[in-house]
Amino acid sequence: MNSSAGMRRRQIRGAAVIAAILAALLVWAGARLAGAHLRVQPDGAAPMVVGPGIVAAFAAQAALLGWLSLAVLERLTPRHAAIAWGILAGIVLLVSFVPVLTVTASGGTRLALGLMHIAVAAVLVPPLLRTSSHATQSRMATAPA
């Protein structure tokens, strides 16, 4: 891959990370406007308010780990990285609901947290998959001349 294509891939992936953070914050803001208090109490811990800083930090962490895991898979198994990462992303999304379902919180808070998880995945996964090296090469090979 030439450096221009690599730079474009990084730009798209970086934009996807930023968009995922903004999507989570948008859901958070909508929940607050709808009147959700967004208070949770993990088992054995003190109650806490889920504020925009926590939302942004968790979304950034998830998005950056997603990008990292795709990059690692592209190095280890370039031909199968996109499919392996897509499956991994789906599994991680499903597992991410475990804390949402097990934490002590109101129904509105649980709904908002779940929607944040879905929003991050919905915004992050498609561009990362589209920019996977094998997926990009496959599209270029099948594009009409």
Q: Are 23 and 34 in contact (CB under 8 A)?
A: no
Query: Using CA atoms, how far apart are residues 88 and 105, in angstroms rounded to an integer?
Result: 28
Per-residue pLDDT band at 6 (split at 50, 70, 90): confident
Across 126-133, average pLDDT: 92
Do the domain assignments include residue 106?
yes
Instruction: Count structural domains, the chain.
Output: 1
Do the domain assignments include residue 117?
yes
Do the domain assignments include residue 145?
no
Do the domain assignments include residue 50?
yes
Q: How many of the other CB atoms lie within 10 Å of CB of 23?
A: 21
Do the domain assignments include residue 17?
yes
Q: What angle do CA 135, 117, 85 make, to 5 degrees?
A: 25
Do the domain assignments include residue 71?
yes
pLDDT surpassing 60 at residue 135: no
Q: What's the sign of the alpha-carbon dihedral 27, 15, 56, 118? A: positive
Query: Using CA atoms, how far apart are residues 144 and 2, in angstroms rounded to an integer?
Result: 21
Q: What angle do CA 126, 130, 136 make, to 5 degrees?
A: 170
Do the domain assignments include residue 47?
yes
Across 109-138, average pLDDT: 88
Per-residue pLDDT band at 1 (split at 50, 70, 90): low
Range of the domain at 109: 3-137
Q: What is the pLDDT of residues 93-104, one digit of tens each?
A: 999 999 999 999
Q: What is the pLDDT of residues 33-72, one digit of tens each?
A: 999 999 999 888 899 999 999 999 999 999 999 999 999 9
Of 1-5, 88-92, 118-122, the poorest mean pLDDT is in 1-5
Do the domain assignments include residue 16?
yes
Per-residue pLDDT band at 133 (split at 50, 70, 90): confident
